[in-house]
Amino acid sequence: MNFRLYSENDRNFPLPPEPASTINVVRTIEISASNEVENIYFDKLLEPFEITFHYPSYAIGQIDENLLAVYEFNRVTNTWVLVGGNVNPFGNLVTVDVQKTGTYGLFYDPSFKYNPGEVFSGVVFSPNPFSPNGDGIYDETNISFYLTKEATVTIEIYNIDGYRVKILKKRFAFTAEDTPDKKPRRVTGLVWDGKDNMGHVVPYGIYVARFTVTFSQAAGQRTIRVNKAVAVIK
């Protein structure tokens, strides 16, 4: 088994979707197995793989570094799709867990919105809508958002009849080094592949994602609940 992680900053990729703009930091993950005849390349990783992007200070100027995010390049559609990423502006780093091989780029997107006074804000599904039909084009949606502290995020996805079809859950561990200025940080790591809890692809339509965010505050626990819509199409 062969593994490669290499830079493709000089390759002529298409521009990211507006209003995002590139800062010319691109990485490609490649995994292959070879025999005497050919190399066989793999699209999926057996478990999430962490990529860290370093960006030079001169590449960003005076922009808000919390508006940086990692995008995945879809070779079928020749477009970039938002994945997310955990930004550490003090180390000029963006870290993201990915589950597929391919090419990933670091972009600045001023359309991101977050609330500096809230623990949880700025939810984005990307792409939205998405089409989990197995054709390799937008088969899953990446879920990213901003957090200011360690929290457990549970996402319950309901159809229009109010039936819960899917549950996603992840603990996001923060340290003092992650948020020394207490500003929100965009994180990722939750992906919905359009399947229900039984592993079946859900019917197309509008779904409501109910976010439950639990975190420690003072001597107890606090919970925030937020609803967002996501669309599944053919």
Residue 115 DSSP one-character state: -
Last residue of one domain, picked from the residues 60, 79, 112: 112
Kindly state whether residues 55 and 119 are assigned to the same domain: no
- Is the pLDDT reported for residue 201 higher than 80? yes
Kindly state whether residues 81 and 139 are assigned to the same domain: no
Amino acid 155: pLDDT: 97
- In terms of DSSP bridges, do strands 102-108 and 68-74 run parallel, antiparallel, or are they unpaired? antiparallel
DSSP labels for 5-74?
EEE-TTS-PPPPSTT-EEEEEEEEEEEEEE-SS-EEE-SEEEEEEEEEEE--GGGTTTS-GGGEEEEEEE
d(CA 147, CA 154): 14
Q: What's the full length of the chain, in residues?
A: 234
Kindly state whether residues 122 and 67 are assigned to the same domain: no
Kindly state whether residues 117 and 78 are assigned to the same domain: no
Amino acid 75: pLDDT: 83
- Is the pLDDT reported for residue 230 higher than 90? yes
Identify the band that residue 231 occupies on the pLDDT scale cut at 50, 70 and 90. very high
Kindly state whether residues 144 and 75 are assigned to the same domain: no
| Low-confidence winner among 21-30, 53-62, 180-189 (lowest mean pLDDT) | 180-189
Last residue of one domain, picked from the residues 72, 91, 112: 112
Q: For residue range 46-105, list pLDDT tens digits in order.
A: 777 888 888 888 877 788 888 888 888 888 888 888 888 888 888 888 888 887 888 888
Q: Which domain holds residue 78?
A: 1-112
Kindly state whether residues 220 and 117 are assigned to the same domain: yes
Kindly state whether residues 103 and 121 are assigned to the same domain: no
d(CA 182, CA 167): 29
- Is the pLDDT reported for residue 20 higher than 80? yes
Tokens, residue 73: 């390049």
Contact status, residue 196 vs residue 214, Cβ threshold 8 Å = no
Amino acid 9: pLDDT: 66
Contact status, residue 218 vs residue 170, Cβ threshold 8 Å = no
Kindly state whether residues 134 and 209 are assigned to the same domain: yes
> For the domain that residue 180 is a member of, what is the CATH number?
2.60.40.2550
DSSP labels for 151-197?
EEEEEEEE-TTS-EEEEEEEEE---TTT-TT---EEEEEEEE-SB-T
The whole-number average pLDDT for the span 184-195 is 85
Number of domains in the chain: 2
Contact status, residue 189 vs residue 196, Cβ threshold 8 Å = no
d(CA 138, CA 128): 9
Identify the band that residue 225 occupies on the pLDDT scale cut at 50, 70 and 90. very high
Amino acid 62: pLDDT: 81
Nearest in space to 215 (alpha carbons), one of 156, 157, 171: 171
d(CA 29, CA 104): 8
Identify the band that residue 43 occupies on the pLDDT scale cut at 50, 70 and 90. confident
Last residue of one domain, picked from the residues 112, 145, 179: 112
Kindly state whether residues 187 and 217 are assigned to the same domain: yes
> Which residues face 226 on adjacent strands?
211
Amino acid 186: pLDDT: 79
Amino acid 47: pLDDT: 76
Q: For residue range 171-182, list pLDDT tens digits in order.
A: 988 755 555 566
d(CA 125, CA 227): 12
Q: For residue range 113-138, list pLDDT tens digits in order.
A: 888 888 899 999 989 999 999 888 88
